[in-house]
Amino acid sequence: MMDMGASSGLGFMKMHGAGNDFVVIDSRGRGGALVTAGLARGLGDRHRGVGFDQLAEIRDQEGADCALDFWNSDGSRSGACGNATRCVSDYLMRDLGRDEVTLVTARGRLHARRREDGLVAVNMGAPQLLWSEIPLARAMETDSLPLEGGPSAVGMGNPHCVFFVDDAEAVDLAGRGASVETDPLFPERTNVEFASLIGPDRLRLRVWERGAGITLACGSGACATAVAAARRGLTGRQVRLEMDGGVLEVDWRDEGVWLSGPVARVFEGHLSPEMMALA
């Protein structure tokens, strides 16, 4: 178990899944959540804090191995984060000496397991298909982006707007991502995906995340994209998604959308009193 070193400041871990990076704080046994929006923003600052795409806080949960909350680097909350769920599952499985765990997130109970090849897999639950493609396509059509049939809006416990394009590399990710994220069609903002088909059941995927900007990988975004691709008949229900930071695998089964990929633990540290004062 991580040494939380109460006397030397609150302990944390830095982890990543295919370059989607996280600060993980284990608040089990501390009587509740410690993280606030102010602390998340302060720690999330890549120059003045630690830096992360998401912060994941582990809490005690009766009837499960833990509860898990997610924060973006701008201090907003997220209802789901597939890669952080996989990273925390890896940490818990090592801590508990098991190869399966159950975590409770805002979206419900999620089951994770270590595969024989070492990748960590989590069942992200059933997708929610938020809008039909057509009205959204009409509403979002612009001159700058060929919509090629219009985007798909898919919920994985958080919102995703998935565009299929000929060449994901050619998209102005920062420009288009920021404008779609804050489009009035999405009252809670949205994560934004640009995907192109590069082979049978293989997609190239670039993601602009709500509250975090461009990330090297996004687990729930990979799930949402694979679901949208399968519904359009572009792929089957088992898809490899090639992201800037590595490959994620998605398998959309009757019991939910399984997400698999690598996890890495980078370092542990303790927060200074000055950082804790932000909480």
Ligand X SMILES: N[C@H](CCC[C@H](N)C(=O)O)C(=O)O
Binding to ligand X (CB under 6 A): which residues in 23-62?
53-54
**Residue 113 burial (10 A CB sphere; 0-12, 13-18, 19+):** middle
User: 161 catalytic, yes or no?
Assistant: no
Q: Interface with ligand X by CB under 6 A: which range of 74-82, 90-98, 102-110, 132-140?
A: 74-82
Which of 105, 123, 191, 196 touches ligand X (CB under 6 A)? Answer: 191
- Residue 23: how many other CB atoms lie within 10 Å: 26
Provide the token pair at 162.
Answer: 């998935």
Give yes or no for a contact between 8 and 16, defined as CB atoms under 8 angstroms apart.
Answer: no
Choose one: 36-44, 77-85, 145-153, 165-173; the region binding ligand X (CB under 6 A). 77-85
Decide if 81 is catalytic.
yes
The DSSP string of 8-76 is G--EEEEEEETTEEEEEEE-TTTTS----HHHHHHHH-TTTS---SEEEEEE--TTSSEEEEEEETTS-
- By residue count, the chain amounts to 279
Active-site residue, from 66, 81, 87, 161: 81
- 83 annotated among ligand-binding-site residues: yes
235 binds ligand X (CB under 6 A): no
Asked if 82 interacts with ligand X (CB under 6 A), we say: yes
The distance of closest approach from Cβ of residue 136 to ligand X in the complex, given in angstroms and rounded to an integer, is: 18
- Which residues contact ligand X by CB under 6 A? 20, 53-54, 72, 78, 80-83, 158, 191, 209-212, 215, 218-220
Annotated binding site for substrate, which residues? Answer: 20, 54, 72, 82-83, 158, 191, 209-210, 219-220
Question: Looking at the annotation, which residues are catalytic?
Answer: 81, 218
